[in-house]
Amino acid sequence: MADVKYDVLGIGNALFDVLVKTDEAFLGKHGMTKGSMSLIDEARAAAIYNDMGPATEVSGGSAANTIVGIGSLGARAAYVGKVKDDQIGKLYVHDIRAAGVAFNTPAAKDGPATGCSYILVTGDGERTMNTYLGAAQDLSPADIDPAEIASAGIVYLEGYLWDPPGAKEAFVKAAKIAHEAGRKVALTLSDSFCVSRYRDEFLGLMRNGTADIVFANESELHSLYETSDFDTALKQLRNDVKLGVVTRSDKGCVVVTPTEAVAAPASPIAQLVDTTGAGDLFAAGFLYGLSRDLSHKQCGALGALAAAEVIQHIGARPQVSLKELAGQRGLTA
């Protein structure tokens, strides 16, 4: 097997996050389903933005957040995602490279603006996302560099990529290249509403071996198997993938293979501020652990640590060195 250049390479919708604290009334006024991710057009994006209060604006995107977290833990990380060559796009490129992540996807010269996700955070820390994909939807198979993909130990893909047709093709191309190079492919299901849109296709990716590792939270798992019984859904997951990782908020996580199930607890926090990025950063810690050949329980502990850091502040990327934080807790390899 060729040498690994990157421990993990992520592919996702490159989005700029606009976060604001709000209340249930605002969600109701705009017809939003609390805790969901909805795709919106430019007109609705403008309407939401104009009605929002003071916002925090930071680079985001689900897989990008994960990859930045992996870099913060000290691993070699790379990202593939599409922005436009506009002001926000330039800021996005700067931010991800400044985080130590290799990012070489050419920016679009024309077409829609860099994508934005308008994230409403209610008092209980729950986030509701309204996403204008913009340039992100123009990610195509041409943006997938075979040599770069083949040089990554794990290729990590977000379920949100299944919305734009070109990105879906890029997803499949990358997975094929990774497997031909003897690498692993990980998939996060992203959102229960995303799962309901593409349930059969996601199950197909799992059952045909396109995805070796699958990340889901409880609601995504229930949506995937159309059951409210956790044990029933978990049993089906064990039959469908080589490695499944299910996060359960304050109950920690469960890691399953066809032959075993391992639980790991959540990390304690002082205060829940914003759940945006919790799953993204959990995946960062877990994948970092896998890249270091740690046990599944240790991987779960690293995931919990990274998730706990990000939910105690606004925004979906770590504000401290996760490597140092893991070292303080005795979790480094």
Name the domain count of the chain: 1
Rounded to an integer, what distance in angstroms lies between the CA atom of residue 41 and that of residue 169? 22
CATH number of domain containing 140:
3.40.1190.20
Rounded to an integer, what distance in angstroms lies between the CA atom of residue 319 and that of residue 247? 22
Number of C-beta neighbours around residue 197 at 10 A = 15
Mean pLDDT value of segment 239-260: 96
Rounded to an integer, what distance in angstroms lies between the CA atom of residue 86 and that of residue 55? 20
| Rounded alpha-carbon distances, angstroms, from residue 263 to 38, 219, 245, 295 | 31, 18, 10, 12
Q: What is the pLDDT of residues 24-48, one digit of tens each?
A: 999 999 999 999 889 999 999 999 9
Whole domain around residue 235: which residue ranges? 6-14+61-113+134-328
Q: How much is the mean pLDDT over the chain?
A: 95
Domain-embedded: residue 78: yes
Cα angle 32-11-218, degrees, rounded to a multiple of 5: 50
Domain-embedded: residue 39: no
Pairing of strands 6-11, 77-80: parallel
Mean pLDDT value of segment 183-195: 95
Specify the length of the chain in residues.
333
Domain-embedded: residue 35: no
Domain-embedded: residue 224: yes
Domain-embedded: residue 28: no
Q: Residue 287 has what pLDDT?
A: 98
Q: What is the pLDDT of residues 4-15, one digit of tens each?
A: 999 999 999 999
Q: Do residues 213 and 291 touch, judged by C-beta distance below 8 A? A: no
Q: Residue 293 has what pLDDT?
A: 95
State the distance between the two ends of the chain, measured CA to CA, in whole angstroms: 23
Tokens, residue 30 = 């705009």
By the 10 Å C-beta count (0-12 exposed, 13-18 middle, 19+ buried), 330 is classed as: exposed
Q: Residue 2 has what pLDDT?
A: 59
Tokens, residue 26 = 């605002």
Angle between the N-to-C axes of helices 278-291 and 296-310, in degrees from 0 to 180, rounded to the nearest 10: 150
Q: Residue 333 has what pLDDT?
A: 57
Task: Say whether pLDDT at 241 is over 70.
Answer: yes
Residues in a beta bridge with 77? 8
Number of C-beta neighbours around residue 316 at 10 A = 30
Q: Phi/psi at 236 (nearest 5 deg)? A: -70, -40
Domain-embedded: residue 236: yes
Tokens, residue 218 = 């409880």
Q: Do residues 112 and 86 touch, judged by C-beta distance below 8 A? A: no
Nearest to 151 by CA among 1, 290, 4: 4
